[in-house]
Structure 1
Amino acid sequence: MNYCPNCGTELRAGAKFCPACGCDLEQETRNHETTDTSQFQTDDSFELELEPTAGLNITRAEIKKVAQEKLSGRYGEWFKTIFLWLIAQWVVNLIFRIAFIKYISQGTSYWFASIFGPAYSSYDYYNYGYSYSPFAHFFWFLIMLLAIVAMFLIASLATATFQWCAIHTLRGNQADGLKIFAYFIKAQKNRVLKANVLIAIYTFFWTLLLVIPGIVKSASYAMANYLLEKDSTLSASDAILLSRQIMHGYKLEFLILRASFFFWTILAIFQVTNFYVFPYRNVTEIRFLDTLYEHYIEQNQQ
């Protein structure tokens, strides 16, 4: 049943005018449709908007520019630290290789002795071969294990030392790796060593899950050494947890920044380029972390 929009009189089907007031029903219908369309376009319209992320308002190029400015004329401060690190790595690797060769040769001697028996003993009697010694076999195995542990500790402490050197470079202080290393040993109560050992272990186990999780987790732990330097009361485990919290949402940005040094890392196999690559990469990464930390503090103060 239809009714006149003007006076409310009941209308017959198909009526064009109201019999009571003479209202033009077709005109009223057109006005109503126009009003509905206009209302949809203004009040009910919507736009597809992506929620803006809280960025750092700084580009990778700007971060690298700051790092280069801070390092200008100061690469020599890093020379001694990098040189001693390379020497330590070379010595430990050499010990491992010698121990490995000796261990394998002892194992080969044992294998020959178990198969050929007296014939192999006679062969050794005339100084044509090497005799098997259980003590020597165990000794070289122990040396091998100690060399692996030493490589692990050197890598862990080197990471912390280079990052702390980068912090000092950004602050305009001298980047003396030996003093920083001595400070780790004497005044830090092993919290830096503990943090980096835990990070290495965590990253290793995450890497077992097809490598990618290990790479992502390494970004989660990236700020731990920065936080340990920033707060001398922070424990190793607390620094790792806080690093994960601050890096949440920024791991990809950090990994892209790190990946931008890919070709520099390849050149580092020549060792000489390490004296340029290591300071540049570490100061760049610390500059990123420094910016992120300031952003985190601002966000939590609001």
Structure 2
Amino acid sequence: MQSWLPDLAGRPGPKYRAIVSALAADVASGALPAGARLPPQRELAWELKVTVGTVARAYAEAERDGLVSGEVGRGTFVRPRPPDLTPGGAIAARVETEALIDMAHTRPSLGPVAHLFAPAFARLARGDLARSLDYEFLGCSAAEREILCSWIALEGVAADPSALTVTVGGQHALLAAIGALTRPGEAVFAEALTYPGMKLAAAAIDRRVESLPIDAHGLIPEAVERALAARPGATIYGMTTHHNPTTATMPMARREEIAAILRRHGGWFVEDGIYSFLPASPTRLRRRSGASRPTG
């Protein structure tokens, strides 16, 4: 290939940084493929009208950034891009995008309701956007809390607007709930196969996760009984409707049995109801236990 000559126009800062910036851009775009040999330092310095020291410093900086590698007696070469070592990336690298079914993330299928979004966003744009984009000290307004409670009531949960803890998403809600009910270093019980995000939330605030046995219907009541008998007042996390990853939905009778165990031992149950609005959802465990503080 033709000897590389970086375009430094419009790149601010010292010349050596401009060279590194141009090099990174050309590597990212594919203009400089892996294995490409960069021009000798004196040659590039002559072409760019800079000192050899400037080019040497740029090459050294690029090597520290992992863009190139220098070989004594041979020159400086563009390094291969490191592989994406995440499981999803490893699979995606070997499968065409059209053929890949991503089961790591849950996304709504808009289908026949897609046409409703455009007018909905248009109505939003006609409203008070400045207020919607501003900070809200209490999380949301009183009117919005009433609306949220009305929505929660559709699932059979009577929620007091003043007792509603508004979060910025499900993961934040998990952090808040687990953090409020446990102390650093303590354990949270969860299903033997549980939502991976729950483990991340627990680890982020220094909580251990201990597993409880499950079957085709979710948590096994006898296992919950043994855990709470050994640690009265302990916290259990569970997804009772359309469990991730097993897809199990816990029957009503089992929910009532676990709720009774919780009352008997003073235990707490963090019920992840992310899919509870979907069909085949029995009354939530929190309603069966008689006490709840919705978060979301």
Structure of greater relative contact order (alpha carbons < 8 Å, 6+ residues apart): 1
Which structure dedicates a bigger proportion of its chain to helix? 1
- Normalised by the shorter chain, which TM-score bucket? under 0.3
Which structure dedicates a bigger proportion of its chain to strand? 2
Greater radius of gyration (CA): 1
TM-score normalized with structure 2 length? 0.22
